[in-house]
């Protein structure tokens, strides 16, 4: 059976993925053109098909109907009988559990990964992988002596040591506690900022996605319900994925200045500026700020003196149902930027909230995350 063609124009260095398979109680049916740069998050609840799709891309799962293109190379085409096996695909794969060889030191684990690649094809040196993941002091340690976060950093470094052209990460933080997640997230952000290798990142955590992803693919029941740039998808009202307390927006911004007296940083975005806690960020640095709907309030009158430092004027752009019938989500346009606020329907009625209403948006500085 032939696969339907895509009407989208493929990106020259992008990833074209078409997979269809059926199991008892589950069907996967996706047809995607993904960017060949940055971090693409495959996002959804358990059972949505994220890991199955990633395993298909890796060649670990055969689909009934399949076509996979990476740049100008075809790695799989079921109709033509073409299937490049996993070990011949230039990929690195990081699993939920760090799959280090227990009998080898960290250094020897990395060296084993590099041996897969001919010297002429090595694009990422062991030294670069070690520095990027901050594991120089761990090289002589055995895996059993490492914390969960340290093991996962070593596993990522080993994947990079294979000089992959595509890095696949299957919920790499899922097995870690909150402290270890906070330990490893800065290193994942370094991967995002410093590597040119495209990353496909599976996660069901809105926080991880908001911090790391450039492009978001939302999956539900084995099908793609939305895909596009992160900020664009998070701002949509019509998605069946449930974010609950994690509903919010992500602002691409730049550090505009630092108030040393109060230990605050001013972050400028398209539409205004917000104050947040200073984390020794240099002026001019590009940052990402996440503003949750639960931390945004609205007023129709000019706010007086208040502990809330971030106040903007905007216009109500759209309204949407929340998960609880007593709550309402309100999208407000502030310049070129959308904010979303969570209100009780009672307070919205008292304020007369409707599309086109001019309001004042108030955001707590302590609620902002870079």
Domain boundaries along the sequence of the chain: 15-240, 248-254+286-367
Q: What is the DSSP string of 237-278?
A: S------GGG-EEEEEEEEEEEETTTTEEEEEETTEEEEEE-
Phi and psi angles of residue 50, each rounded to the nearest 5 degrees, phi first: -60, -55
- 3-state class of 197 per DSSP? coil
CB 364, CB 295: distance < 8 Å: yes
Q: To which residue do tokens 């310049």 refer?
A: 335
Q: Which pTM does this prediction carry?
A: 0.84
Classify burial at 49, counting beta carbons within 10 Å of its beta carbon; exposed 0-12, middle 13-18, buried 19 or more: buried
Q: Which tokens belong to 268?
A: 């400028």
pLDDT by residue, tens only, the chain of 370 residues: 223 333 344 455 799 999 999 998 899 999 999 999 999 999 988 899 999 999 999 999 999 999 999 999 999 999 999 999 999 999 999 988 888 999 999 999 999 888 878 787 778 888 988 998 999 999 999 999 999 999 999 999 999 988 899 999 999 998 888 888 888 888 888 888 888 899 999 998 888 888 889 999 999 999 999 999 988 887 765 665 556 677 888 888 899 988 888 888 899 998 888 888 877 778 888 888 888 888 999 999 988 888 888 999 999 999 988 888 999 999 999 998 889 999 999 999 999 999 999 999 999 876 665 5
Q: List, in sequence order, every residue forming a beta bridge with 311; answer none if it has no partner.
A: 362
15-240: CATH superfamily: P-loop containing nucleotide triphosphate hydrolases (3.40.50.300)
Q: Which tokens belong to 199?
A: 């990353």
- In CATH terms, 248-254+286-367 corresponds, of 3.40.309.10, 1.20.1050.10, 3.40.50.300, 2.40.50.100, to 2.40.50.100
């Amino acid at each position: 059976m032939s696969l339907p063609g895509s009407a989208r124009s493929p990106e020259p260095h992008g990833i074209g993925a078409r997979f269809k398979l059926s199991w008892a109680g589950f069907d996967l049916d996706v047809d995607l053109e993904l960017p060949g740069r940055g971090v693409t998050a495959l996002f959804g609840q358990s059972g949505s098909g994220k890991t199955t799709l990633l395993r298909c891309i890796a060649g670990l799962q055969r689909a009934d109907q399949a076509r996979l293109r990476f740049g100008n190379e075809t790695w799989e085409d079921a109709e033509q009988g073409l299937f490049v096996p996993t070990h011949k695909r230039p990929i690195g794969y990081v699993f939920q559990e760090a799959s280090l060889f227990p009998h080898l030191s960290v250094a020897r684990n990395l060296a084993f990964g590099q041996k897969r690649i001919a010297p002429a094809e090595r694009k990422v040196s062991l030294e670069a992988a070690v520095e990027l993941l901050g594991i120089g002091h761990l090289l002589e340690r055995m895996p059993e002596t490492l914390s969960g976060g340290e093991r996962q950093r070593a596993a990522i470094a080993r994947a990079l040591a294979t000089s992959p052209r595509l890095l696949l990460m299957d919920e790499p933080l899922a097995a870690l506690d909150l402290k270890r997640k906070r330990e490893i997230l800065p290193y994942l952000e370094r991967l995002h900022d410093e590597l040119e290798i495209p990353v496909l990142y599976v996660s069901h955590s809105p926080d991880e996605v908001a911090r790391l992803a450039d492009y978001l693919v939302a999956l539900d029941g084995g099908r793609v319900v939305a895909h596009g740039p992160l900020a664009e998808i998070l701002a949509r009202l019509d998605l069946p994925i449930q974010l609950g307390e994690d509903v919010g927006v992500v602002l691409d911004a730049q550090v505009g200045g630092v108030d040393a007296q109060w230990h605050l940083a001013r972050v400028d975005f398209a539409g205004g500026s917000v104050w947040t806690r200073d984390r020794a960020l240099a002026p001019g640095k590009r940052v990402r700020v996440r503003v949750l709907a639960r931390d945004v309030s609205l007023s129709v009158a000019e706010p007086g003196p208040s502990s809330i430092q971030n106040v903007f004027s905007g216009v109500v752009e759209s309204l949407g149902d929340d998960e609880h019938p007593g709550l309402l989500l309100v999208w407000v346009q502030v310049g070129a930027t959308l904010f979303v606020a969570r209100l009780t329907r009672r307070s919205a009625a008292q304020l007369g909230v409707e599309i086109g209403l001019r309001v004042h948006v108030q955001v707590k500085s302590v609620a902002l995350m870079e």
